[in-house]
Amino acid sequence: MTPAPENLLHRPLTTPKCTLGCPLLDRCLAGGFPCNSITELFAESGCGKTQLCLQLALSAQLPVSLGGLSGSSLYIHTEFPFPSRRLHQLSHAFRSTYPAIFKTDPCDSIFVHAVHSADQLLDILPKMESFLSDPKTHLPVKLIVIDSIAALFRSEFENSPVELKRRSSLFFKISGKLKLLAKRFGLAVVVTNQVVDLIVPEGINGMRIGNLACLYSSGRRVCPALGLAWANCVNSRLFLSRNEEVEKEEKGLVDVDANRVCTRTRRRLHVVFAPHLPEGSCELVITREGVFGVE
Amino acid sequence: MEVGRLPISASQRGKLISAGYTTLSSLSSLSPSVLAREVNVSDTEAAQILKVASHGSRLDGSEGGCATINGAQTAWDMLHEEEMFPRITTSCVDLDNILGGGINCKEVTEIGGVPGIGKTQLGIQLAVNVQIPVDYGGLGGKAIYIEGSFMVERALQIAEACIEDMSESDGLLRKDFKACQLKMHPNNILENLFYFRVCSYTEQIALTNYLEKFISEHKDVKIVIVDSVTFHFRQDFDDMALRTRLLSGMALKLMKLAKVFSLAVVLLNQVTNKYTEGSFQLTLALGDSWSHSCTNRVILYWNGNERYAYIDKSPSLRSASAPYSVTSKGIRNSASNCKRIKMM
């Protein structure tokens, strides 16, 4: 079969994207998570990665006119247990926001699968392909979430050069197959990652990757896990940070006790690198109804 | 054989004979530029005449002692040819300066850097800039873009900014030249961008083999960008020797494409950590043997908060680094006040 160039004008002139369900967050990402590419979302544990992913799995079911993909999602989780109670809570809130669209339970369109090791993930990828091409659901699968990729790799490999090389080649295999699926079925692939502390000082050729010179979360300097090889496997990278900030004194109130300090947790979503986004960030909060951006 | 028997036009024949070239052997050791000068025809006409002449003398079977090897050129002609081909601008003046004017046609340039430094942005910018019409100092050619994190809307954004810049200079310089007014639309730029997507290394190699046929059918392609050339090869190869063979085969094909069709080949590469002498060093991916496959190598890196490009390997360019920035319009000059080109 001779290769043929794709006609760029036949496709839509913007890549289809999956909304996050919040216009402020969507604005930071120019519409949402793009299809046909792998987006990585990394953060410390407890920052809200899973929350965002669950919300994404729900908003993927929205029609394209509202920014969704009109599709169901495949949610591969590697950390246990799967937060099904939270998912039901969120889907309840979603249903009440869009009563006309969600006639059936949105959770019916989210397919959850547990994976325990990197080799197992490689094994199920061909099975995923057959699942994607023959969906028994009424909505085709348009979103794949892997939460989290780091958990698959962080315990199995020793720290020797040979093992690390084997680990990197697994990264490329997995992301190569995911990109193939993304292209063939027009899916958005979202992968979450953990962080590790960063100790190395920066030089001219330092390990800076992306728009932010330093990534801070909970007051520590961090960087995404899995290293440089994995960074080359993803198309876009987003960072969720959490920091404690000291609240300013409210006007009119005099604090006699000078030792009392009011702190507030502030969460931000940053664009670390993306081929279609300028650098930017957006503050967000996590409520009962989901994750929402704030001005 | 006589010049009079060559299948060329009567006026050309007349010019040759009056300049003193009556036999084929007198033409056999000439180059097109010399002949053009002597006989007062254009370069292309002279090349055509010589081609016909060499064909004729081959048929004759008599080459004579003063024949040169087919395809050999004098260095003077090569210089003349090189100067004829404009370079492809990167839209950043500093970057163009260290590259000697821009990306060179007929050569393979490798551009590598960490993720997020702007490799894809530079690739898209070049794919758009190659289409700048000749009137505006460009090549008016088409582009082939293979794989990568290609986002159509970003290419559209860069194309719009490029057209805007051209109309601006139009307004500044040619107020009375209504005839040369720019009629380009961003959609035209997308039409002239041939986008191929590959999903495995076998597809990548098959595509590289197919490119020769494709480009001979689309002669106005002037740049081939592969983004990234490394991704599909970094998976586990049981036989590393096979990988080296495949890579060198691919590199040879790309170099041949560049030379034969006079186009620029730009390969975008990733970086990796190389384990040497007990420590890890940042280096371009695919190993040492691959590093011989390109003519020029440019490395993009962060210096503080600025993006820099560094000429790592080039047969004709000096080692130097220059800052650039990635804006919503594409690759542009760095915005800092103290920008200067650092010579190494």
User: What Cα–Cα distance (Å) separates residue A50 from each residue in A19, A75, A187, B314?
Assistant: 16, 11, 19, 48
Nearest Cα to Cα of residue B285 among A154, A208, A233:
A233
pLDDT at residue A272 in the model? 92
Structural Rg of chain A based on CA atoms: 20
Whether omega before B186 lies within 30 degrees of 0, making that bond cis, reads no
Between A8, A227, A235, which is nearest B149 by CB? Answer: A235
d(CA A106, CA A94): 8
Once rounded to an integer, what is the mean pLDDT over residues A92-106?
A: 84
d(CA B197, CA B280): 33
d(CA A232, CA B270): 7
Query: Which run of H or E residues covers position A27?
Result: helix A23-28
- Check if B116 contacts A (Cβ < 8 Å): yes
The top-level CATH class assigned to A17-294 is alpha beta
Residue A151 has pLDDT above 80, yes or no: yes
C-beta atoms of A205 and B282 within 8 A:
yes
d(CA B259, CA B106): 5
Set of chain A residues whose Cβ sits within 8 Å of the Cβ of B273: 227-228
For every one of its 344 residues, what pLDDT tens digit does chain B have, with 9 covering 90 and above? Answer: 566 667 777 777 777 777 777 777 677 677 777 777 777 777 777 777 777 777 766 655 444 444 456 667 788 877 777 777 778 888 898 999 999 888 988 889 999 988 888 889 999 999 999 988 887 777 888 999 987 667 888 888 999 998 888 888 777 766 545 445 556 788 888 888 898 888 888 888 899 889 989 998 888 899 999 988 888 888 777 778 888 888 889 989 999 999 888 899 999 998 887 776 666 667 788 777 787 878 889 999 888 888 999 998 888 888 899 999 999 888 898 876 444 555 54
- Check if B302 contacts A (Cβ < 8 Å): yes
Residue A38 has pLDDT above 90, yes or no: yes
C-beta atoms of B210 and A3 within 8 A:
yes
Residue A36 has pLDDT above 80, yes or no: yes
User: Given CA atoms B46, B48, B50, B53 in this order, what sign does their dihedral have?
Assistant: negative
C-beta atoms of B194 and A211 within 8 A:
no
C-beta atoms of B116 and A273 within 8 A:
yes
pLDDT at residue A283 in the model? 92
**Least-confidence region, from A62-66, A256-260, B45-49, B98-102:** A256-260
- Check if B328 contacts A (Cβ < 8 Å): yes
Helix (H, G, I), strand (E, B) or coil at A188: strand
- The alpha carbon of residue A33 is apart from the nearest alpha carbon of chain B, in Å, by 12
Between B151, B191, B236, which is nearest A275 by CB? Answer: B151
Residue A146 has pLDDT above 90, yes or no: yes
B residues 195-214 closer than 8 Å to A (CB): 195-200, 203, 206-207, 210
- Check if B55 contacts A (Cβ < 8 Å): no
Query: pTM of the full predicted structure?
Result: 0.81
Between A228, A234, A236, which is nearest B272 by CB? Answer: A228
Query: At B231, phi and psi to the nearest 5?
Result: -55, -50
d(CA B60, CA A98): 85
The DSSP line for B290-341 is HTTS-SEEEEEEEETTEEEEEEEE-SSSPPEEEEEEEETTEEEE---TT--P
pLDDT at residue A73 in the model? 92
Which one of A171, A193, A228 would you mutate to disrupt binding with B, by most B Cβ within 10 Å of its Cβ? A228
* Residues A34/A204, Cβ–Cβ less than 8 Å: no
pLDDT at residue A204 in the model? 43
CA dihedral A13, A17, A19, A25 (to 10 degrees): -80
Q: How confident is the model over A232-245, as pLDDT tens digits?
A: 899 999 999 998 88
Comparing alpha-carbon positions, the chain B residue that sits nearest to A213 is B305
The encoded tokens of residue B66 equal 């003063």
Comparing alpha-carbon positions, the chain B residue that sits nearest to A160 is B275
Once rounded to an integer, what is the mean pLDDT over residues A113-127?
A: 89
d(CA B306, CA B92): 14
Q: Token match 């910018």: residue? A: B125
Between B116, B195, B235, which is nearest A272 by CB? Answer: B116
pLDDT at residue B278 in the model? 64
d(CA B344, CA B340): 13
- The alpha carbon of residue B94 is apart from the nearest alpha carbon of chain A, in Å, by 19
C-beta atoms of A275 and B200 within 8 A:
no
pLDDT at residue A210 in the model? 80
Between A34, A204, A278, which is nearest B301 by CB? Answer: A204
pLDDT at residue B30 in the model? 73
Sorted by where each begins, the domain ranges of chain A are 17-294
Set of chain A residues whose Cβ sits within 8 Å of the Cβ of B198: 3
pLDDT at residue B64 in the model? 42
Between B121, B195, B271, which is nearest A228 by CB? Answer: B271
Residue A184 has pLDDT above 70, yes or no: yes
